[in-house]
Chains A and B, each alone.
Chain A
């Protein structure tokens, strides 16, 4: 006797349909599971046996073999329990259980109830892409699974409920897509209307959001850097449905959708502490690598407070994701790639004691301490940070209620969205034309500018570089002259040039200008973040 049920394995975000085959043969009673399984799946024997009996079904007392096919794909986790139980029940005679183009996911408790598992959203997407039309999941996973279009999702509270639904005796209603309110997660985002003062920092946030630029905030402890970083997530435009699905799929892998409703369209915000491990930050772990904080923050904001306290190897590990917008984690069993298209916001004290440049308190750091500290701020990550802004402690008078009201996040989000539309349209066209058209080089730009390394095409200003950046910025003659004077007098490096030009491009986009003019460039220079002591 032989029967099957369909489930799913994950390699990173990629799902592979797994056929669970059950065979009952004559012989001594026994229960074997094969098919490159991990320990959790071997333990499924005890869970399934108890759950089937406690649900009131009969567990076959003959020689029972379960194979998870394709047998070469490594499998882990507890999401196969339900499929194994159903395959065994069908095999043992309940052939009325209909599993036509149906997949099942879920972990069994000993009392036959179903427990939620991680990774249901990416599995559901993969199963749908492989022709599955119906999916049975535990109650706790219904909301995320129902996000997938054109897939009939049923939430089963227990094994018998799943059996009676599938054999048609007691059908369950289809589940509704999760997260009643797509803006539910917005509640914990900071609105700028509630942030007093900080005029320059707020402007920097608008620019960072406008062009997808990474941002570094320098300021003494307690000046409001964390609050401002949270507010940045609130300035980013809504995610598209596709982006939201991608983000939710990553969160699903980590089983973190409880913190973030799967249907939310607001970009995520993550703020890992500097004691985090490398695997926790960029992804990793045994078996198949799990996504790290940088992937959870994809399409949103990754906030690294106390940037200098992060171990240097950890910061070095951010280089690839900052360049490529994704992270590939290799393991002996194969490597996985996760999206990591986050906006980095770093915060640091200006010096170890935190009071350098403060106009009310004195800095007590020695020069050696200071140099060591500032050298930790430099390096690969700093090179990818376009904007630097100083966040001073606010004078007490701005906290008084008789101050004029501050602008709220909503209108800024509107300006950001408009600027992004502008730049994406232009930059996409430029990427298209590149190669077929040679742009003339603006006459008075110093040598060595415009020869940046190639990066994968993206359409935000933050990802412009080299020739493309010059073409997109298209500085007016006056701006080009200003840029060259600035290079001379402020001793800008070639990298700093590109940073300034990228930021200027975004400022011009926020202003609705076609070319980068003197005013945009002048403002961009103030955010260059290269000041000595």
Chain B
């Protein structure tokens, strides 16, 4: 007797039954049962990509590309379906039609957060949605830290993309460390508190992630990643490394008029207000607006709250091209 979600049957897996992930036994307090929607849980290795709900544009981008690279290599991406980084990680996996697992902090029939109802439906269709809570359980603040231990247990390694000192992603990392899982983190500016938690993890011994290839330090996925790397270029490259040509700054722009190319050169991944661009390039707001609109329609830039613009990842490898624009992932 399970309520309908319109997403196919809800599977109920008691502890130890067929389909029960043995990794959960590593937990001190393993859940008594699991409820699951969509495909069966893919076998390990799995990588968790987690981070802040209030994420920056750049953070969302990193999570999405990282997840896309992993999923393209056939490695399931585990996350919490929250707004922000979590949602972006699921989206990245869905972008390349790869495996992804969402672990909820509420009953499986409840779409929470409501803004991610559509995302939930997509994951249930092409990935796995699971929870320890019986159907009908409402989301509550104390359920999410509990949920985090399951994410940590299911994952072979946890990557923290953007987390402040108080972020829930740190609890996932703590659980992972307790379970002996590998913890990795994407560093951020030391001036910004947006990444202070992630930076602290690195100081405490987490492996820094500059590019997807850094994940080869996780033995279980090293082979899969190496093979994928042979097939395609990774979406999250390390721009700082010599020999790595795929950065935002040298994305294919050859077909653009000279003025727009020059404009693009002034726009980085950090948001900038058009007034500053106009001043720097000696353009009138009217001229500038037209070029910006053009670039936006081609996906080279994105307009952010505050009217700021930032470089966008339009020139992705073909396989990674997102269908609907990535915006609104929340956060």
Residues of A within 8 A of B (CB): 197-200, 202-203, 218-219, 350-351, 356-359, 362, 366-367, 389-390, 392, 395, 398, 482, 485-486, 489-491, 507, 518-519, 521-523, 525-527, 531-533
Question: A197 to B271, alpha carbons, bound, how many Å?
Answer: 19
Contact of B294 among A350, A389, A522 (CB under 8 A): A522
Task: Let me know if A523 and B305 touch, CB within 8 A.
Answer: no
Task: Let me know if A357 and B306 touch, CB within 8 A.
Answer: yes
Which chain B positions have C-beta within 8 A of A218? 306-307
Task: Let me know if B296 and A199 touch, CB within 8 A.
Answer: no
Contact of B297 among A198, A200, A202, A490 (CB under 8 A): A490
Minimal Cβ-Cβ distance residue in A for B53? A367
Minimal Cβ-Cβ distance residue in A for B273? A392
Minimal Cβ-Cβ distance residue in A for B285? A203
Contact of B327 among A358, A392, A398, A532 (CB under 8 A): A532
B176-184, B208-216, B274-282: which one contacts chain A?
A: B274-282
Count of chain A to chain B residue pairs whose CB atoms are closer than 8 Å in the complex: 106
Contact of B306 among A197, A350, A519 (CB under 8 A): A350
Chain B residues within 8 Å of chain A by Cβ, number: 38
Which chain A positions have C-beta within 8 A of B50? none
Which chain B positions have C-beta within 8 A of A521? 293
Besides A357-B308, A359-B271, 12 other CB < 8 A contacts? A197-B275, A200-B289, A357-B306, A359-B306, A362-B193, A390-B273, A392-B275, A490-B296, A522-B291, A525-B289, A526-B303, A531-B307
Task: Let me know if A202 and B285 touch, CB within 8 A.
Answer: yes
Task: Let me know if A357 and B305 touch, CB within 8 A.
Answer: yes
Question: A358 to B331, alpha carbons, bound, how many Å?
Answer: 16
Given contacts A200-B278, A359-B273, A489-B299, contact A523 B290 (CB under 8 A): yes
- A-facing residues in B246-276 (Cβ within 8 Å): 271-276
Least CB distance from A525 to B in Å reads 4
Which chain B positions have C-beta within 8 A of A199? 274-275, 278-279, 284-285
Question: A425 to B224, alpha carbons, bound, how many Å?
Answer: 69
Which chain A positions have C-beta within 8 A of B173? none
Given contacts A200-B275, A357-B306, A359-B308, contact A523 B297 (CB under 8 A): no
Task: Let me know if A392 and B307 touch, CB within 8 A.
Answer: yes
Which chain B positions have C-beta within 8 A of A198? 275
CB of B304 within 8 Å of the partner chain: yes
Which chain A positions have C-beta within 8 A of B294? 522
Given contacts A197-B275, A491-B325, contact A389 B307 (CB under 8 A): yes
Task: Let me know if B275 and A522 touch, CB within 8 A.
Answer: no
Task: Let me know if A356 and B305 touch, CB within 8 A.
Answer: yes
Task: Let me know if B308 and A523 touch, CB within 8 A.
Answer: no
Question: A532 to B285, alpha carbons, bound, how many Å?
Answer: 23
CB of B54 within 8 Å of the partner chain: yes
Task: Let me know if A533 and B305 touch, CB within 8 A.
Answer: yes
Minimal Cβ-Cβ distance residue in B for A364? B54
Task: Let me know if B306 and A358 touch, CB within 8 A.
Answer: yes
Contact of A367 among B54, B278, B307 (CB under 8 A): B54
Which chain B positions have C-beta within 8 A of A482? 297
Question: A514 to B324, alpha carbons, bound, how many Å?
Answer: 35
Q: List 27 contacting pairs A-B, 8 Å CB cutoff, sorted by A.
A: A199-B279, A203-B284, A203-B289, A218-B307, A357-B306, A358-B306, A359-B272, A359-B306, A362-B193, A362-B194, A366-B54, A389-B307, A392-B307, A398-B279, A485-B297, A489-B297, A490-B296, A490-B297, A491-B325, A507-B286, A525-B289, A526-B274, A526-B293, A526-B303, A531-B304, A532-B327, A533-B305
Minimal Cβ-Cβ distance residue in A for B276? A395
Task: Let me know if A357 and B292 touch, CB within 8 A.
Answer: no
Question: A68 to B210, alpha carbons, bound, how many Å?
Answer: 89
CB of B330 within 8 Å of the partner chain: yes
Given contacts A198-B275, A390-B307, contact A525 B285 (CB under 8 A): no
Q: 4 closest Cβ contacts across the A-B interface?
A: A357-B306, A390-B307, A522-B293, A522-B290
Which chain A positions have C-beta within 8 A of B308? 357, 359, 390
Task: Let me know if B279 and A357 touch, CB within 8 A.
Answer: no
Least CB distance from B63 to A in Å reads 16
CB of B233 within 8 Å of the partner chain: no
Minimal Cβ-Cβ distance residue in A for B324? A491
Which chain B positions have C-beta within 8 A of A532? 305, 327-328
Least CB distance from A387 to B in Å reads 12
Task: Let me know if B306 and A523 touch, CB within 8 A.
Answer: no
Which chain B positions have C-beta within 8 A of A202? 285
